[in-house]
Amino acid sequence: MKPIFDIFQRYKKHKILASNFVYLSLLQGLNLVLPLITLPYLIRTLGVDYFGLLSFSFAFITYFQIITDYGFNSTGTRDISLATDDSEKQNLIFNQIMSAKLLLLVVSFVAMMCIVFLFEIFRTYWIVYLFSFGSVFGQAIFPVWYFQGIQKMKYITYLNLFTKVIFTIALFIFVKQKSDYYLVPVFNALGFITAGIFALFYIQKDFNIKFKIQPFSGIVEQLQKSKYVFLSELKISFFTNTNTLILGFLAGNQAVGYFSAAEKLVRAMGNLQTPISNTIFPYLSKEMMLNKLQTIQKINKITVTGTILFSILILFCFCFAEPIIEIIYGKAMFASILIFRILLLVPLLSFLDTMYGKQILLNLGKDNLYFRVIVYATILNFTINLILTHFFQEVGTAIALIITQIFIVLGMWYFANKEIKLIFKTDK
CA angle 243, 261, 43 (to 5 degrees): 125
- Comparing CA positions, the residue from 313, 398, 297 lying closest to residue 351 is 313
Half-sphere exposure of 165 (CA within 13 A, CB side): 10
Q: What is the pLDDT of residue 284?
A: 76
**44 Cβ partners below 8 Å, 6+ apart?**
330, 332
CB atoms under 10 Å from CB of 302, counted, come to 23
pLDDT tens-digit readout, 229-270: 787 677 666 656 778 888 888 888 888 889 988 988 898 888
105: nearest Cα among 73, 71, 136 = 136
Q: What is the mean pLDDT of the chain?
A: 84
Prediction pTM value: 0.69
Is residue 137 pLDDT above 90, yes or no? yes
Top mean pLDDT of 70-79, 301-310, 417-426 is at 301-310
Determine the pLDDT at residue 12.
47
Largest CA distance in the chain: 67
pLDDT > 90 in the chain, percent:
25
Torsion of CA 190, 193, 199, 201, to 10 degrees: -100
The model's pLDDT over 341-382, given as tens digits with 9 standing for 90+, comes to: 999 999 999 899 888 888 888 878 787 888 888 888 888 988
At 384 the pLDDT is 93
pLDDT of 104 reads 94
| Torsional sign, CA 234, 221, 275, 298 | positive
Phi, psi values for residue 359, rounded to 5°:
-75, -30
Please list, in sequence order, all residues whose beta carbon lies within 8 angstroms of the beta carbon of residue 52, skipping any fewer than 6 positions away.
Answer: 248, 252, 253, 254, 255, 256, 257, 258, 260
* 266/21: higher pLDDT: 266
Q: Is the pLDDT of residue 34 over 80?
A: no
Of 411, 416, 37, 68, residue with least CA distance to 239:
411
| Cα 78 from Cα 286, distance rounded (Å) | 9
Would you place residue 8 in the very low, low, confident or very high pLDDT band (cuts 50, 70, 90)? Answer: very low
- Average pLDDT, integer, range 101-118: 94
- Report how far residue 229's alpha carbon sits from residue 415's, in angstroms, rounded to the nearest whole number: 16
Question: Can you tell me the mean pLDDT for 75-96?
Answer: 83
Give the DSSP letter string of 105-122.
HHHHHHHHHHHHHHSHHH
The answer to whether 56 and 256 have CB atoms below 8 angstroms apart is yes
